[in-house]
Structure 1
Amino acid sequence: MDGPAGDKLSNNGENYDGMFESEEEKLAGQAEAWKYTFAFVESLAVKSVVLLGIPDIIAHHGHRATLSLSQIAAELPSEKPDVNCLFRILRFLVAKNFFRADTSEGANEVRYGLTPASKWLVKDGVAAPSLSITALLLMQNDVTMMAPWHHFNDCVLDGGVAFEKANGLHVWDYAAAHPDYNGLFNQAMACNTNFVIKALLSTYGGFQGLNSLVDVGGGIGITIAEIVKAHPTINGINYDLPHVVATAPRFPGVKHVGGDMFKKVPSADAVFMKLIMHDWADEDCVKILKQCRKAIPDEGKVIIVDVVLNTQEKTGVVPSLGLVSDLVMLAHTSGGKERSEEQWENLLKEGGFPRFYVIAIPALQSVIEAFPY
């Protein structure tokens, strides 16, 4: 059947315009579709100015400072920067509220300043370390980390792991074989720790009374060092793969131990794991939990800092960010995922921890305190 005059038809005669309830819905849908088509532009434009150090250049003059295009260009590490290219990138990022534009000092000269968003991407040493997610942005937008996203359709059709399809190795094997990537990853995890640990220590009192604590998957030891600093009576053990702890600096009250958490966890009053369990499939998490159970006394506990997924959440730092993190796990891990409270309950029971509490902290993650009895 022919559609109304002017309607566009597909090859099989379907009326495309008939899919929309109104002209307004059609136009709104088109705008959303364009947004998804070019969503990558924002992230990679921000990456470019972070690599150029432009947020740092402005911040060096004061967090309220504004600089002209020529002033910014003069501080770039190039004798002949392409000022027009720089202008076009900054113009876009002003429109996206990453930078602010000030014309009050002269209509013919725009001056660029920081916004609340760009202040979070000033590198350490200029801003407080706890107020920078630069390392996370650079890691997530690295070619190695971006490539797996192009294999989601293959994973749906054929199964498999996106990271391995893109890079040929499991993420942890890849890190062990590529020191530059391993360094980038460790910096990003340390960056994440800077503000998660602050949220944890400000609200969670469960470290009181512990004489020893092992941080399983603790990276280079930033987290356990901060916990021990806040609770000096704790003997801290930072436990991670040998190639990870090999790059760890010394911290007072912290001992670095290399090993495999699937085979053994060092003994302590309690086990701490931050953003570890979401890297692994359920069966792997159960194996880790069983090793944790062997490592602690009957009155001990496991302290997990991870996302407790709530797909109905409409408030918080960024609504649906838990779902974003879940897709990051799909892209970068072999079976990792974010879990709901019910999924955590099932996992903990199978791993030997039938009693647990979820404790909110001012972060995307929550504390999951689990007990063997």
Structure 2
Amino acid sequence: MEVQADGDHFISSQLGGLAGTQMALRAAIELKVFNIIADAGPDAHLSAAEIISKIPTKDPSSAAWTLERVLRVLGGNSILSIISRKPSGNNGEHGRHEWTYGLTKKSRRLASSSSTTDELLAILQGLWSELFDYMGEKPRLRQLFDEFMEVSGKLQFEDVFKLYGGFKDLKELMDVGGGIGTTLAKITSTYPHVRGLNFDLPHVIDAAPKLPGVKHVAGDMFKWIPNAQTILLQCILHNWDDEHCKKLLRNCWEALPQEGKVIIVEMAISEELENNVEAKDVLMEDFFMMLLTNGGKKRTLAEFKDLGNAVGFTKVDIFQCLIGQFML
């Protein structure tokens, strides 16, 4: 059963990746991205900001950041070539790394005279639907989403659980945004001495089953978080923009004792944007976060560190896993 679940997860990921790549490719063609790079010279590499300066938009900064995420998907699939450029000064605002993009043999043939559409300009200006508000109005969709997150989180956490030994030293662990408590139950069943607190929105907690070693607590993580020795944030920060993440981490800071810590499990974007399956998966997830959430995104390690530093977490330890990055 476990092998079948892994296989289904991999196939779903690959199919989603194919659809996402086609969406990114269409956007680049209609925005004349390949034409703009070609016009700059045969070996030109342009940043997202340089490309967006050739496209009419009301908010160039926001549009450039959105276009960056489209270009990274194309780069991860070898449709564009990528050069990683080290940021100057203090690593840039939010620790954002910089990449430049050039044409490959594949993309040189994609320059066309098609016009930029109003729909795509609206996308570049950040007019996205808010996924969680929408699901709040669609109970069946919310149920399917929760079931998907439960299975996906279980598969991802298996790797973390094998490689990270820090759970055995805990006395108390609170899983913020923990859903119905599946991940926490895995930890408390393996380490019965750990007191587990599962914290999520009231309608999620109402559907959560009784689990050995787990106490369910309802609340809003952006308003307050119960006091706990250690806090787990598994695949939570990628749903939100920087300001929401800082608010959440600040609430975590206030809930922790002096020697407390936050364990963050997230897939991180490599600054080198390597052309492999793992890198493509992260970039594709970032692309879909852009489409489905209001500000959600995958981040580089520097961006994660900047979020922590902004609210007082000055010590950050990194643990690498097969699926991405594991941070403290």
Q: TM-score, normalised by structure 2?
A: 0.64
Measure the CA separation in 2 of the matches of 1:192 and 1:223: 11
Matching residue of 1:272: 232
1:116-127 matches, within 5 Å, as: none
Q: Give yes or no for the alignment of 1:256 onto 2:216.
A: yes
Matching residue of 1:350: 310
Q: Give yes or no for the alignment of 1:191 onto 2:191.
A: no
Measure the CA separation in 2 of the matches of 1:243 and 1:353: 31
Matching residue of 1:294: 254
Measure the CA separation in 1 of the matches of 2:317 and 2:146: 29
Pairing partner for 2:122 from 149, 154, 160: 154
- Name the CA shift for 1:315/1:224 in 2 (closer, same or farther; >3 Å): farther
SS in 2 for 1:186: helix
Deviation string, structure 1 residues 18-60 (Cα, Å, up to 9, x no partner): xxxxxxxxxxxxxxxxxxxxxxxxxxxxxxxxxxxxxxxxxxx
Matching residue of 1:367: 326
Matching residue of 1:303: 263
SS in 2 for 1:322: helix
The residue identity in structure 2 corresponding to 1:339 is R
- Contact 1:197–1:226 under 8 Å retained in 2: no
The residue identity in structure 1 corresponding to 2:325 is S
Measure the CA separation in 2 of the matches of 1:218 and 1:136: 23
The residue identity in structure 2 corresponding to 1:155 is I
- Name the CA shift for 1:251/1:310 in 2 (closer, same or farther; >3 Å): same
The residue identity in structure 2 corresponding to 1:277 is L
Matching residue of 1:114: none
Deviation at 1:314, TM superposition (A): 2.7
Deviation at 1:334, TM superposition (A): 1.1
1:212-227 matches, within 5 Å, as: 212-227=172-187
Matching residue of 1:327: 287
Deviation at 1:265, TM superposition (A): 0.9
Deviation string, structure 1 residues 143-194 (Cα, Å, up to 9, x no partner): xxxx9x99654221x4322xx2xxxxx3222222211101110111111122
Pairing partner for 2:138 from 168, 178, 185: 178
Deviation at 1:318, TM superposition (A): 3.2
Deviation at 1:231, TM superposition (A): 1.3
- Name the CA shift for 1:305/1:351 in 2 (closer, same or farther; >3 Å): same
- Name the CA shift for 1:130/1:298 in 2 (closer, same or farther; >3 Å): farther
- Contact 1:326–1:338 under 8 Å retained in 2: yes
Name the structure, 1 or 2, with higher relative contact order (CA <8 Å, separation 6+): 2
The residue identity in structure 2 corresponding to 1:254 is V
The residue identity in structure 1 corresponding to 2:9 is I
Q: Which runs of 5+ in 2 are unaligned?
A: 18-22, 28-118
SS in 2 for 1:366: strand
The residue identity in structure 2 corresponding to 1:133 is H
- Contact 1:236–1:255 under 8 Å retained in 2: yes
Deviation at 1:126, TM superposition (A): 8.5
Deviation at 1:302, TM superposition (A): 0.3
Matching residue of 2:9: 133
- Contact 2:179–2:200 under 8 Å retained in 1: yes
1:55-74 matches, within 5 Å, as: none
- Contact 2:238–2:297 under 8 Å retained in 1: yes
Q: TM-score, normalised by structure 1?
A: 0.57
Measure the CA separation in 1 of the matches of 2:123 and 2:273: 28
Matching residue of 1:208: 168
Q: Which runs of 5+ in 1 are unaligned?
A: 1-124, 142-146, 165-169
Measure the CA separation in 2 of the matches of 1:175 and 1:182: 5
The residue identity in structure 1 corresponding to 2:313 is F
Measure the CA separation in 2 of the matches of 1:351 and 1:130: 37
Matching residue of 1:232: 192
SS in 2 for 1:187: helix
Pairing partner for 1:318 from 268, 278, 281: 278
Deviation at 1:209, TM superposition (A): 2.0
Q: How many residues align?
A: 233
SS in 2 for 1:320: helix
Structural RMSD (CA): 3.0
The residue identity in structure 2 corresponding to 1:231 is Y
Measure the CA separation in 1 of the matches of 2:171 and 2:283: 37
Q: Percentage identity across aligned positions?
A: 33
Of 295-304 and 192-201, deviating more is: 192-201
Measure the CA separation in 2 of the matches of 1:128 and 1:320: 22
Measure the CA separation in 2 of the matches of 1:243 and 1:173: 13
